[in-house]
Amino acid sequence: MTHASNTTMTDTPPRPSPKITPLSAPYWEAAAQGRLLLQKCASCGKVRHYPRMLCDACYSNSTDWVQASGRGKVHSWTICHHAFHPSFVAELPYTLVTVDLDEGVRALGRWRGTALSIGDAVLAQFDQRSEGPELFFTAATSTP
Ligand SMILES: [Zn+2]
């Protein structure tokens, strides 16, 4: 059996772009400026991430946005050896890290650094790519 394809192994499709919706637009607009925004319930004050319509504590749909410090601690990580999209194959293996942000929510991003340990202090940053901003984390080595 042969696999019909008009691409070669050297053809790399472009990375997918974020699907920006009215709900997530404030997050992506801030990310394009290098700022990490989180939703905060305007009724009870609970911070949430990723963007959602309703607060899961009080079910209010009244939302504010707050800028995160970008600081957090490593919750866990995984080393990806299989790309979920062909545009990431050349970057394998890469590490995704889940971070408990100081604001009390968990975020996922690429890891750019050396060895990781649970509880390590990290800092969120954005890489401005042509297809959109990409959240990544580095070691927080100093306190500005
Ligand atoms: Zn609430």
For residue 84, give every residue at least 6 positions away whose Cβ sits within 8 Å of its Cβ, in sequence order, or none: none
Cα(25) to centroid(ligand 1), Å: 20
Cα(101) to centroid(ligand 1), Å: 19
Cα(67) to centroid(ligand 1), Å: 18
Cα(102) to centroid(ligand 1), Å: 19
pLDDT tens profile 54-111: 999 999 999 999 999 999 999 999 999 999 899 999 999 999 999 999 999 999 999 9
Listed in sequence order, the DSSP H helices in the chain are 25-31
CA angle 124, 48, 132 (to 5 degrees): 45
Question: Contact at 8 Å (CB) between 100 and 76?
Answer: no
Cα(144) to centroid(ligand 1), Å: 32
Q: How confident is the model at residue 2 (pLDDT cuts 50, 70, 90)?
A: very low
Question: Contact at 8 Å (CB) between 92 and 82?
Answer: yes
